[in-house]
Amino acid sequence: MIIRLESNIEVLIKQSGLKKKFIADKLGVSVPQLRNYETGKSLIPFDKAYVLADLLRCSITDLYERVEQNENNSRNDI
């Protein structure tokens, strides 16, 4: 079994009403890097995930959704 993580970060940021520049500054990353976290192109480091969860007033487990899938797709697989 392969598990893929699907990012919920973009939706959570939209719901928060916070500006991406503000969030990126608090995380110490660029806006393009934040976009990589939103799209799942990059996984957010654990320490930054806690900061982001605090900013978005959510649980760290809300940032990603665990999706089981077939073994033929390897993006963000564990």
Q: Domain ranges in the chain?
A: 2-65
Contacts (Cβ under 8 Å, ≥6 apart) of 60: 49, 50, 53
pLDDT band at 78 (very low <50, low <70, confident <90, very high): low
Mean pLDDT of the chain: 91
The predicted-structure confidence for 13-35, as pLDDT tens digits, reads as follows 999 999 999 999 999 999 999 99
pTM, entire model: 0.82
| CATH for 2-65, options being 1.10.1370.40, 3.30.465.10, 1.10.260.40, 2.60.40.10 | 1.10.260.40
- Whether 6 has a pLDDT exceeding 80, the answer reads yes
- Whether 1 has a pLDDT exceeding 70, the answer reads yes
The predicted-structure confidence for 46-57, as pLDDT tens digits, reads as follows 999 999 999 999
